[in-house]
A and B are shown apart, each in its own frame.
Chain A
Amino acid sequence: MAKGFTLWFTGLSGSGKSALAERVRDILLERGMKVEVLDGDIVRQNLSKGLGFSKEDRDTNIRRIGFVCNLLTRNEVVAIAAAISPYKAIRDENRELIGRFVEVYCKCDLDTLKARDPKGLYEKALRGEIKNFTGVSDPYEAPENAEVVVDTASEEVDAAVEKIIGKLEEMRYVPAGDGRGYTEEEEEGIKARLRDLGYI
């Protein structure tokens, strides 16, 4: 079972990619898997240092992340990518390259994003101070066949994490978590039910 795969988060800035990636990473680590997160912000400080936000540079950035994810995946590591990755064609290129590829679309409406604006970027972008800002002045192509869609405007972080982990379990990419058996209290409940029906 412990084979690698790539979990690819895509969505607008502030939609929750990094936040969810971290939570999912922690759970997978607890379950004994090897995990690396490639976060867009960090990648742009090293692997993609110097690249800007033109379509060409964005594509290069996403291809680089895909390249590293592929290396990790084939070495039985879970690679988690958290970058806006606005263009469908490049995401699909990575999907094609990697194979074991699970796309998570972090959906979130603009009003919510503006209200969150943890980095103050929307405010600047809306004032026109940032050119090519995805979702405001640059395109974002939403996935049509993402394995998981989380609407972070309406779904709590916990629910979104559960949905992602559930999907991975369902695909048998990760083993089921422990502690699903009965608690002592539940065992009493079960005994009572079985007794009522004459089974014990």
Chain B
Amino acid sequence: MRFLRRRRKRRVCVVGLDGVPFGLLRRLGDESVMPRVAGMVASGDLKQMRAALPPVSSVSWSSFMTGANPGEHGIFGFTDVAPESYQLRFPTFDDLATPTLWDRLGESGRRCAIINQPATYPARAVPGVLVSGFVALQLAKSVWPKEHLGALEGMGYRIDVDSQKGREDPDGLLDDLEATLETRRRAAEYFWGRESWDYFQVVVTGTDRLHHFLWEAVVREDDPRHERAMAYYRAVDGFIGEMWDRFHEGSPGDGEGEGFVLLSDHGFAGVRKDVRLNAWLRENGYLDYEKEGPGSVAEITADTRAFALDPGRIHLNVRGRFGRGCVAPEEARGLRDELAAGLRELRFEGEGVITHIFPREEIFRGQKAELGPDLVLLSRPGFDLKGTTKHPAVFADTHFQGMHTWDDAFVWSGLPVADEPEIADLAGGIVGWLAG
């Protein structure tokens, strides 16, 4: 009888860095702010990656965790409008229409431990454990199974930083970022040993918060908070290194990095101006409000033909699709082309603002695709597209320093990855490899 040498059990460990662009990660690796990342880049394959569209965390992470297109999983943003009342609604984890990769792993008996996954609130049963991330509110509804709630409370686990500080107290925000990362680290340590898992995932969302409020501190050496921003990145690097070391414990040498994945869900860039699409639609006669100072798109007039939601989503007010729809379905295509042509000409001080205009059918496919926006716009870095209804001017200053970008997320993967990957591509590879 021959004995086959037992192969080491396949495991995957994913570390997510919310909102970290490809270029920044590589640069911080080179500059040895992030020596552990530098080591991974030297020995492995760091790739630029496209986020989902539109490039916000709820959409992009939903695409990551399901491997599906937004037209399939049904999450198109942090907000949606109710088709009758046009009131803003806030999609939850329950709105996710396709199974997650950990559901699929569970079907073949594999277990997962997932910490701070955005867009999974309220937490529900998973094969293993789940701690929901943004926009999670109460910790009690963010933990499944509940038996871990006490332990997380005991370690002072924090779902998120207090983003209000971003505006009023940047040093306080930096303190918060460090403290929150530390509790993330403790939670990872806690679940690592306690759960028997095949798939482990932890997401750092502080990077995104830092970039929203203090992007300048990250990219400009003369910014007064540059050193603190770098210290935060050093701590993030230390955390990545810790996860890497744990993952390789007891099996050094062969197959270094196999099964380890580091990724971001979208990129980031500095902001110069907010671009309020609803103000543009109003100026150009496509939209109006029942009264001045509207609180939301719920207050558009019955003859409004198009409205915008964050970040660059344009919906046509089509009859049959929306309760007060006034655009005949057969006129939608023409209206869309007209809007696209107009938006292409939008300029600020001579500079073009819009770089991409995606019609729905080009980017969304699946049963929910019809619920998605008619157009998704992307802008030149520096121009942050907004769906606010509150202000009449198209261009405005903002207290935010950073904005999301689309095609410069990154992935470092110890698993085979397509050449020009997009975030939805990864799940299939992970499930396939673990099942292999």
Contact = CB atoms under 8 A, between A and B. Distances in A.
A176 interface: yes
Interface string A163-181: 1001101100000100011
A193 B146 contact: no
Contacts of A176: 94, 124-125
Contacts of A197: 163, 209, 212
A196 B164 contact: yes
Interface of A: 155, 159, 162-163, 166-167, 169-170, 176, 180-182, 186-187, 189-191, 193-194, 196-200
Contacts of A189: 137
Interface in B336-382: none
A190 B164 contact: no
Contacts of B163: 193, 196-197
Interface in B135-161: 135, 137-138, 144-147, 160
Interface residues of B, number: 38
B387 A196 contact: no
Contacts of B106: 170
A190 B400 contact: no
Contacts of B94: 176, 180-181
Contacts of A181: 92, 94
Contacts of A198: 212, 384, 386, 398, 400
A187 B79 CA distance: 11
Contacts of A159: 146-147
Contact of A194 (B78, B92, B400): B78
Given A190-B90, A198-B384, A200-B78, 17 more contacts: A163-B145, A166-B124, A170-B125, A170-B126, A180-B93, A182-B90, A186-B137, A186-B138, A191-B88, A191-B90, A193-B134, A193-B163, A194-B79, A196-B164, A197-B163, A200-B79, A200-B387
Contacts, number: 72
A155 B78 CA distance: 37
Contacts of B384: 198
Contacts of B79: 194, 199-200
8 contacts: A166-B144, A170-B127, A186-B137, A191-B90, A199-B310, A200-B296, A200-B310, A200-B388
Given A187-B90, A199-B78, A167 B125 contact: yes
Most buried by B among A159, A170, A176: A170
Nearest to A162: B146
B65 interface: no
A186 B141 CA distance: 11
Q: Which 3 A-B pairs have the closest CB atoms?
A: A196-B163, A170-B125, A166-B125
A155 B146 CA distance: 11
A148 to B, nearest CB: 11
B56 interface: yes
Contacts of B146: 159, 162
B388 A182 contact: no
A186 B92 CA distance: 12
Contacts of A162: 145-146
A57 to B, nearest CB: 36
B206 interface: no
A168 B269 CA distance: 45
A196 B209 CA distance: 10
